[in-house]
Amino acid sequence: MKKKINRSRTGTIVLFLAIAVFAAVMALPLILVVGNSFKPINELWEFPPRLVPREPTLKNYSDMFTIMSGSLVPFTRYIFNTVLITVVGTLGNIIFSSMCAFQLAKMKFPGRDRIFSIIVLTLMFNTTVTAIPNYLIMSKLHWIDTYWALIVPTFGSSLGLYLMKQFMEQNVPDALVEAARIDGASMWQTFWQIVMPCVKPGWLTLILLSVQSLWNVGSTTFIFSDNLKTLAYALGQITSAGVARAGVGAAVTVVMMSVPVIIFIFSQSNIIETMSTSGMKE
């Protein structure tokens, strides 16, 4: 039987208008950034700023590609570096975070709660605090100026482990894991064929967070060779000329944010489910 919502038509209209206003306010920065990328240089400094350019132009994008084509390192190399780091780092983050979360959420062993408390504690530390220890570790492993210096640290993401553990506890009943064991499923089969499909919204959310982080990584701390640097670094160099390249900078911003936005659009239903689900009940 369908539950009847006790709300008047006037209340529905007011609620719709309120949501529309909030949506418009949240969309304004995105619209402004996209609009700025199509503005000529004289319109970029108008006050108050206009959302839609009066004389839209593609000059900012053409200038961006012109500057890219004059780079000493082929620009496709920067794209390859970023895609490689993003894909491998994201896959590693999902696999290792999910495997560790499975052990902490569904396996009972001495010190489990203490280990999880330490993991939660690490969420308090800013990346700036851990920059020097990370550099020393990468140096000892001889990974400075290699892809691994950016990829491997993402495998041990505390946020990813915390997210997956909480989601497994809410959405995977212990009885389901016990039933798989009784049926003769191995630990790997239980994890891969039963647990992971149940937490699909969780790891899709983790994909978005990981891609957003790795896609925008600058790589200047650990990587010094130009042919190993990332797209964010190359595009950052384009905009370093200051005011003269303000329009190009707006185009660069649109290019850099397009990938995370597209991924979010295709996975938004699962990400919303991550926040709204109440979990399976035994």
Confidence check: pLDDT of 88 > 90? yes
pLDDT above 70: percentage of residues in the chain: 88
Considering the chain, what is the average pLDDT of its residues? 81
Cβ-count burial of 46 within 10 angstroms (0-12 exposed, 13-18 middle, 19+ buried)? exposed
Q: Domain containing 130 — which CATH number?
A: 1.10.3720.10
Question: Confidence band (pLDDT; 50, 70, 90) for 91?
Answer: very high
Check: CB of residue 65 under 8 Å from CB of residue 128. Answer: no
- Structural domains in the chain (count): 1
Angle at 155 between CA 269 and CA 149, to 5 degrees: 125
Higher pLDDT, 95 or 73: 95
Flag whether pLDDT at 6 surpasses 70.
Answer: no
| Residue 253 belongs to some domain of the structure | yes
The answer to whether the CB of 39 falls within 8 A of the CB of 250 is yes
Q: For the chain, how big is the Rg over CA atoms in Å?
A: 23
Residue 120 Rama label (left phi>0; alpha psi -120 to 50; beta):
alpha
pLDDT > 60? residue 4: no
Does the residue 27 lie in any domain?
no
Nearest CA among 237, 198, 212, 81 for reference residue 147: 81
> Measured between alpha carbons, how far is 182 from 174 in angstroms, rounded to an integer?
12
Mean pLDDT of 32-59: 82
Tell me, what's the pLDDT at 7?
Answer: 62
Residue 6 belongs to a domain? no
What average pLDDT does range 236-257 have in this prediction? 76
For residue 61, what are its two tokens?
């994008």
CA dist 154 and 148 (Å) reads: 10
Tell me what the mean pLDDT of segment 201-229 comes to. Answer: 82
The most confident of 34-48, 86-100, 190-204, 239-253, by mean pLDDT: 86-100
Q: How distant is the alpha carbon of residue 101 from its chain centre?
A: 19
Query: Per-residue pLDDT averaged across 125-154, rounded?
Result: 86
Q: Which residues contact 174 (CB under 8 A, 6 or more apart)?
A: 106, 282
What ranges in 71-195 are assigned the alpha helix state H?
A: 75-106, 112-122, 131-140, 148-155, 158-171, 174-182, 187-189
User: Could you tell me the sign of the dihedral formed by the alpha carbons of 45, 48, 50, 56, in that order?
Assistant: negative
Among candidates 149, 155, 148, 163, which has minimal Cα distance to 93?
155
Q: What is the DSSP letter of 190?
A: I
Q: Token digits for 162?
A: 């915390």
Residue 206 tokens, joined: 């983790």
Is 101 in contact with 165 (CB distance < 8 Å)?
yes
Mean pLDDT calculated for residue range 271-278: 55
Q: Indicate the residue type of 159.
A: L
Could you give the percent of the chain with pLDDT greater than 90?
A: 4
- Torsions phi, psi for 54 (to 5 deg): -70, -40
DSSP one-letter string for 125-143? S-TTTTHHHHHHHHHHTT-
User: Is residue 23's pLDDT more than 60?
Assistant: yes
Tokens (6 digits) for 14:
């007011």
Query: What is the Cα–Cα distance from 81 to 78, expressed in whole angstroms?
Result: 5
Residue 282: what pLDDT?
A: 46
Report the Cα 252 to chain-centroid distance in Å.
18
Query: Which residue range(s) make up the domain with 166?
Result: 36-276
pLDDT tens figures, 111-131: 888 888 888 888 888 777 888
Mean pLDDT of 19-33: 85
Tell me what pLDDT residue 112 has: 85
pLDDT for 270 equals 63
Q: Contact at 8 Å (CB) between 253 and 189?
A: no
Whether 237 maps to a domain, the answer reads yes
Q: 87 pLDDT band (50/70/90 cuts)?
A: very high
Q: Is 30 a member of any domain?
A: no
